[in-house]
Copies of this chain bind each other. A is one copy, B any other.
Amino acid sequence: MFEGIFVPDDVRAAVSDAAWLQALLDAERALAAAEAQAGLISSDAAEAIAAACRAELYDAEELAAAGRAVGNPVEPLVRALGARAGDSGRYVHRGATSQDILDTAAMLVTRRALDPILAELARVAAACASLAEAHRSSVMPARTLLQHAVPTTFGAKAAGWLVAVCDARRRLVDLRAHGLAAQLGGAAGTLASLGEHGPEVLRLFAEELELAEPVVPWHTNRVRIAELGAALDLAAGVLAKIALDVALLAQTEVAEVAPAAGGGSSTMPHKRNPVGSALAGACARQVHAYASVLTGGLAQEHERGVGGWHAEWHALSGALAFTGGAAGATRQTLDSLEVDADRMRRNVDATDGAIMAERIALLLADRIGRREAHELVRTASAGERTLREELEASIEADELDAALDPETYLGSADVFVDRALAYYRETS
């Protein structure tokens, strides 16, 4: 029930039992195909095996029940597949160990799940880019430690989101392209039962699945699993940052953005809850936890871990699922976001000039010294009267007007928007 709330249907499907089952079978099919190419088994056998490698022929629950005794689902699947493949059944799984199949399947599941995730991330980036372009001139308060700092633009803010999304997405794109490798080491990483054909079968197996060929079997070198976990965590964290900012901007008192209508409360009809922000934030917390299982599992014993390996399957599935959830929720949030540029500007003005304190202090510093200027502005900002009123004695009216104009104190905001958009175009 909860996964249905958090995880988009396409990502859920990509990490479902059916998807894992098919990926396991794809690995077995590819192994037979590679061995046929290498002349170790006949093409007929490979074809008979391929024909039996369809997930719908098997029952995941049954395999799980049978897998409990051996600690993985591959062993019962190999038996079931062997039975289905008739006379060719004896050529199933030749030279492989369960981990070869499971790790390779994990790579396939990852690649397939990354498709909808990367697509959503691309849409998130596109939404950020649109906002950055559209709101170049929407002046708003920049906030540090949740306090008004100086003016910025919503375009610059969205540009900051955009760069982070591009960074996180690029890492996942890189890992999808280069970080997914076939696993084939046999019983304990020597491919002994394939005799001298080991390396050839490994190469053909990897080619067949369009996965990278690893330098050596990686049964207990879990770098690529840990890197996947870290990269998913990164993506989810970047999405949570956007989601958090949206929730903060949507606060009743701030009201600079409004999430899509629909996030109602069961009892309070007036509310427009930032539901997408809540979902994305919740997803990111799950991803962080799952990623921690993956990055925390590098120290596996000898040639196959006792538990560390087993913990990866559920954690990798979960990390993919909830990264997809974070991406989906953030994308929906941004796509339906109502931006109130007028309110942004009113919020800039709401402190009657205090947001311009840095500029005023710099102006005065040239006249009365830095420390004195800082102190004067600090006192002025803290008083009953507005900063303008306090400063009228020290600064000419025209000069004060100019100094208090936020539109002329945006520095490089616009340049940074351009740079972010250029970076986006380069990296996407």
Contact = CB atoms under 8 A, between A and B. Distances in A.
B187 A358 contact: yes
Contact of A63 (B1, B142, B290, B365): B1
B307 A243 contact: yes
A375 B264 CA distance: 11
Contact of A1 (B1, B73, B233, B309): B73
A394 interface: no
A215 B420 contact: yes
Interface in A137-178: 141-152, 156-157, 159-161, 163-164, 167-168, 171
A415 B197 CA distance: 11
Nearest to A284: B299
Interface in A66-95: 67-75, 78, 82, 90, 93
Given A281-B310, A282-B307, A415-B198, A298 B190 contact: no
Interface stretch (A38-46, A114-122, A204-212, A218-226): A218-226
B302 A285 contact: no
A37 interface: no
A188 B150 contact: yes
B144 A187 contact: yes
Interface of A is mostly: helix
Given A227-B234, A302-B146, A302-B245, A4 B60 contact: yes
Interface in A348-362: 350-351, 354-355, 357-359, 361-362
Contact of A244 (B189, B199, B295, B299): B299
B359 A192 contact: yes
A223 B234 contact: yes
8 contacts: A71-B279, A143-B252, A143-B303, A145-B304, A190-B412, A193-B411, A215-B423, A281-B310
A98 to B, nearest CB: 5
Given A149-B304, A215-B419, A226-B237, 17 more contacts: A4-B64, A70-B266, A97-B265, A143-B251, A144-B273, A144-B302, A145-B306, A150-B192, A167-B223, A186-B267, A216-B419, A237-B299, A238-B298, A240-B298, A245-B301, A270-B378, A270-B382
Contacts of A144: 97, 187-188, 219, 265, 271, 273, 302-304
Contacts of A245: 301-302
Given A2-B64, A262-B69, A275-B69, A216 B295 contact: no
A57 interface: no
A110 to B, nearest CB: 15
A97 B266 contact: yes
Contacts of A266: 70, 74-75, 78, 93, 97-98
A374 interface: yes
A297 interface: yes
Contacts of A160: 189, 216-218, 220-221
A285 B378 CA distance: 32
A187 B150 CA distance: 7
Nearest to A410: B190
Contacts of A309: 278, 282
Contact of A145 (B274, B355, B387): B274
Nearest to A260: B69
Contact of A300 (B5, B156, B227, B241): B241
Contact of A97 (B6, B70, B234, B267): B267
Contacts of A56: none
Contacts of A365: 90
Contacts of A270: 148, 351, 354-355, 357, 377-378, 381-382, 387
Contacts of A161: 221
A278 to B, nearest CB: 5
A3 interface: yes
A288 interface: yes
A230 interface: yes
A400 interface: no
Contacts of A146: 247-248, 250-252, 274, 301-302, 306
